[in-house]
Amino acid sequence: MAGPTSRVEVEILGERYVLRGDRPPDYIRRIAQEVDERVRDIGNRHARIPMTTAAILAAVNLADELKRLQESYDALVKMIEGEDQERKKK
């Protein structure tokens, strides 16, 4: 069950955005800040690329992290389920 919808104004790369979500406002602000920091970091390391390209690279990096974490999580769940099945056999 989703909680109440939060409406939060954030700033990413100097642009204001209104984000809505079922998470607390502070959480949404922290996520926006993380995105801003990652895009800026890429932009600072590669000063010649446009910020839109930096934003896409940041999104790809975040998607890669998410995928790797999901794979790790799935492997852990599988391992735990396997251990549970072994215990039930005994």
Residue 79 lies in a domain: yes
1 in any annotated domain: no
Does residue 16 fall inside a structural domain? yes
Q: What tens digit of pLDDT does each residue of 62-75 get?
A: 999 999 999 999 99
The range of the structural domain enclosing residue 10 comes to 6-89
Confidence of residue 84 (pLDDT cuts 50, 70, 90): confident
pLDDT of residue 2: 60
Number of domains in the chain: 1
Q: Roughly what angle, to the nearest 10 degrees, separates helices 25-45 and 51-89?
A: 120
The four Cα atoms 62, 66, 68, 72 give a dihedral, to 10 degrees, of: 150
